[in-house]
Amino acid sequence: MPRQPRRKSHSKVYHCMLRGINKQDIFFEEKDYLEFQDIIKKTKKNFLYQLYSYVLMPNHIHLEIKDKNQKLSPIIHSMATSYANYFNKKYKRVGHVFENRFQSKNVEDHHYMLDLIRYIHQNPVKAGISQMNRYKWSSYLEYFEGEKLKQEDKIVDTEGILEMFSLDKEQARKEFLKFNRKTLNY
């Protein structure tokens, strides 16, 4: 039976997930994480989407993407293929790196969009890996240090999200910090 086409999100925001085949690790060292971050930057240039949050966990990835051009599948396919080529070459292996096709859920309202950002940022905490403010492989720190970064080093589109908390940037960061510290009821 053929795959069902993905439903288009009215908001054009999606929660996308990629998992290592057989739940195996897909990141072994810092260079692997850095490579995936570079791949995100390249796909953002090529496909002109916005990224609101992400986390790179040892065996899976979460991305919150606003895809105004409705090219979600090519975006994720480009990321997955680029990383699989890098991974297989580096680790002298062949075959699939990611299991099945990527998962995606439509994000249709602002409450869910913000809860999803918090959920993504809390992934390392829930896995017992790290605190949010110490985990280098998520968008969490960019919300606080983004202004210090050069434009080409930025990965996440933080401005619109922070403005949902306050138009005053300092106050927005304080509210965002408070919001992210709340525990989700998932």
Rounded to whole angstroms, the Cα distance separating 158 from 160 reads 6
The arithmetic mean of pLDDT across residues 86-104, rounded, is 91
pLDDT confidence of residue 184 = 61
pLDDT confidence of residue 81 = 95
Radius of gyration of the chain (CA): 16
For residue range 129-142, list pLDDT tens digits in order.
988 888 999 999 99
pLDDT confidence of residue 146 = 67
179: phi then psi, degrees, rounded to nearest 5: -60, -45
pLDDT confidence of residue 3 = 64
Domains with residue ranges and CATH for the chain: 13-180 (3.30.70.1290)
Mean pLDDT in the chain?
90
Q: Give the rounded percent of residues in the chain with a pLDDT score beyond 70.
A: 95
DSSP 46-80: HH--EEEEEEE-SSEEEEEEE-TTS-HHHHHHHHH
Let me know: does 19 contact 59? Beta carbons within 8 Å. yes
Q: Give the rounded percent of residues in the chain with a pLDDT score beyond 90.
A: 71
Which segments of 48-168 does DSSP mark as H helices, in order? 72-90, 110-126, 142-145, 159-163
Does residue 1 surpass a pLDDT of 60? Answer: no
pLDDT confidence of residue 131 = 87
For residue range 10-48, list pLDDT tens digits in order.
889 999 999 999 889 999 999 999 999 999 999 999 999
pLDDT confidence of residue 186 = 45
For residue range 152-179, list pLDDT tens digits in order.
778 999 999 999 999 999 999 999 999 9
pLDDT confidence of residue 100 = 82
